[in-house]
Structures are given as structure tokens and as C-alpha cells.
Amino acid sequence: MFHKEGAKIILFSLLIAVSIILGVEYLISIPWLVKVVQIVTLLFLVIVLQFFRNPKRTLDDIADHLILAPVDGKVVVIEEVYEPEYFKDRRLMVSIFMSPINVHVTRYALNGMVTYSKYHPGKYLVAWHPKASEENERTTIVIDNPVYGEVMYRQIAGALAKRIVNYAKVGHRVNQGEDAGFIKFGSRVDLYLPLGTNVNVVLNQKARGNKTVIANK
């Protein structure tokens, strides 16, 4: 199953791929070169399709005391930082980096009420750059949860990402595991948790959205 945010790109890519695969035989007279172009075109189409895949994952346990991974990827940062935009105090940050081959759907990591949602235009530094969370295009969302209080997550564009989709709206009550947005072509998501939160992941661990428990109480 594919995410709705990829519908136009998938359709356009499919039309282009079919045109190239069928038309290249009339434009190139060298058989082996025709095959190469067709194979490369098919690989391009496969990459586009896999990028926009949206696997349905049922939650093993829905509970306010659990914070689940909002995306698929690798845990690249677990550290105490100062958060200057909303909290203006120190928080425990957990960052998950998504490569182009990961599922790029962003899901709500926890239940609660959206109390803050803001888009920031910016640069397109590589997603793992130390300043990416402050200088890249990004969206900042805060969810008020009964157990943890306010928890922030930030969608950050990478060097290839050209559009961040954010569904969170202030005043809306959201449910853990539901689609929260999408980041097109390379990105990262940062979670800002209260100090003292019991974190269940370690650096370089692979996380799966809706499956990996980031923290619990």
C-alpha cells in the first residue's frame, strides 16, 4: 500500500517510465543499450514506489505510558539538550535518521492534544548535520500527554527532502499510531522528552514506526 502523499509522483513516474521503456526501442538501435536504459528506468520506478510505501502496522499495545517510534530509521542521537523554540529549557532528545530506503511516513508517537504546530522554512543541510534541527526546513509539533505532559517532535528535511507534510493542528486530539505527516526524500525526526524519561533504545538501534518503544513509564 502506498501513502496518499505519493499519488501524483507515482503516477507521473509511472507514465515517464512506461514512455521510456516503450519508446527507447525506437530511439536507440543498439540492443544491449536499449536493455540497459529499460532496466535503469525500472529501477528508478521501484525506488519511487518503495519510498512512498505505507505498511499498515497494528499497535501491539496502545497506552499513554508508551512513546513509540514515530518513523522507521536509525537512532543517531540520545542526549540532553537545550530546546529554545517552545520549552526554553533542557530536554532529552532522541533523534531518528531516515535514509532514502526507509518508510517516510511520520506517525504520532503518543496520545494527546496538539498544543503547538509550526512550520519553519530553512536550509537543506544533510539530516545528520548538528545544525539541521535549527537551520533546516522543519515543523515543530507539541502533544500534551496525560502521563508525560508536553512532548515535542520535530520533522526535519534533509539534503534531498523538498517538502514536509504535517497533519497536526492545534486543538486536535490525536491517537498514537495514526499518520501525522510525511517527509519526501530523506529526513530525520527529533523527539524532545522530559528529563528523567526512561529511554528504551540505544544509539545505532534500528527503529520501526509503531513498533519500537522509545520510552515508557
Active site residues: 187
Q: Residue 169 in contact with residue 147, Cβ under 8 Å? A: no
- Give the burial class of 69: count Cβ atoms within 10 A of its Cβ; 0-12 exposed, 13-18 middle, 19 or more buried: buried
How far apart CA 136 and CA 82 sit, in angstroms, is 18
Compute φ and ψ for 107, nearest 5 degrees: -115, 150
Question: Each residue of 83-99: b (16+ CB within 10 Å) or e?
Answer: bebbeeeebbbbbbbbe
How far apart CA 18 and CA 24 sit, in angstroms, is 10
How far apart CA 128 and CA 157 sit, in angstroms, is 10
The three-state secondary structure class of 197 is coil
